A and B are shown apart, each in its own frame.
Chain A
Amino acid sequence: MLYDLIIIGGGPAGITAGIYAARKKLKTLLITKEWGGQITKAVDIENWPGTKKISGMGLMQQMTEHLKQFEIEIKEGKEVIDLDKKKENFIIRDNDQEYESKSVIIATGKIPRLLNVPGENEFKGKGVSICSTCDAPMFKDKDVAVAGGGNAGFNVALDMIKYAKKVYILDFFPEMKGDPITKDKLAQSGIVEFITDVAIKEIKGKKFVESLIYEDRKTGKDFEIKVAGVFISVGMMPKVGFAQKLVDLNQIGEIIIDKDNYTKTPGVFAAGDITDIKYEQIVIAAGEGAKAALAATEYLKNK
């Protein structure tokens, strides 16, 4: 089986690319590990034109239903592990199958960056969380730590001060990058302690998280704080490992594209948060997906 187009990723960029490709009658396969990606965590979306307010899950459901009414093949729950060239075409591998296509759109987006320290994985759901809107109420009257002092970390802390007894915010750098207005608001709560220029080294506990160890980067000294929860908010990272042979990446690992979504390899396109496009918004990712599908259509026509 030779496809015209394989789309990797089932977020707004991938889904929109799928809709456009199907309407252009391309023989298309969309492979995704899960639907929606980051948008499933959004509580309310109020900037998707035509819909005043919708939950991330709701929007994702509408998008997938819309996609599935077209003629398009879909593989769900599959993670692509390799993308390579084979003469004119491309070979894509997931854990148990291989597919061949004349063109490819990479739209795998970003996933939360992790700390990569001992205990982080072990205590996932047992005190370690990446979803404060979900889990904040479980830490009523407890002490918690937030890893990351950017705006995302500050928003996590805002969720936490409603419930927790004490909130530590830890940042790797000497200055926190989050907005000063939010910082003031957090400081005014009287229960937030800001700790900068530190590296988190370990999350410890028995059945559940009990403490966190960090190193003061100036003195090299270790400190242990007693916490029941650790909320990780240290940014997002691109999911691009499988594609490295055929695309160029920028310093933070995003795929470099031109204004028509071409990567350095003709026939391989990329769209959405996985790319070096600066602004990361649902409406932008969807638009980029549409552009990539149209560019792929044109590429196939001229082949």
Chain B
Amino acid sequence: MVRVFSTPSCPYCVALKGFLKEHNIEFEDIDVSQNVEAQKEMIDKSGQYGVPVIDIDGEIIVGFNQERIKQLLKLI
């Protein structure tokens, strides 16, 4: 399962979600600016405050790290 923790105004979040859509990857879109619980979960799991954070089957990636995301989603 793919989950994306993001805020509405962050440019890299928009880019990340655009990238996933482009590759027809289904994902849960979690807006942490509106959801304190999810915010806490994101900070706990990633150990930091910065968005976006993507959770790919339990593996946490901070930021729009295209190479790593491609690897985990087997897009290369």
Contact = CB atoms under 8 A, between A and B. Distances in A.
A294 B39 CA distance: 50
Nearest to A56: B11
Nearest to B52: A134
B37 to A, nearest CB: 12
A134 B9 contact: yes
A41 B48 CA distance: 20
A125 B49 contact: yes
Given A43-B9, A125-B62, A140-B36, A134 B14 contact: no
Interface size, B (range): 20 to 34
- Which among B33, B47, B48, B62 has the highest number of chain A CB atoms within 10 Å? B48
A134 B47 contact: no
A133 interface: yes
B25 interface: no
Nearest to B31: A137
Contact of A135 (B47, B49, B62): B49
Contact of A137 (B11, B12, B33, B47): B33
B10 A133 contact: yes
Nearest to A39: B11
A207 interface: yes
Interface string B29-52: 000110010010001000111110
A131 B15 CA distance: 15
Interface in B1-41: 7, 9-15, 18, 32-33, 36, 39
B66 to A, nearest CB: 11
Nearest to B34: A137
A36 B43 CA distance: 28
Interface string A127-154: 1010101111111100000000000000
5 contacts: A57-B18, A129-B50, A138-B7, A208-B49, A229-B49
Interface of B: 7, 9-15, 18, 32-33, 36, 39, 43, 47-51, 62
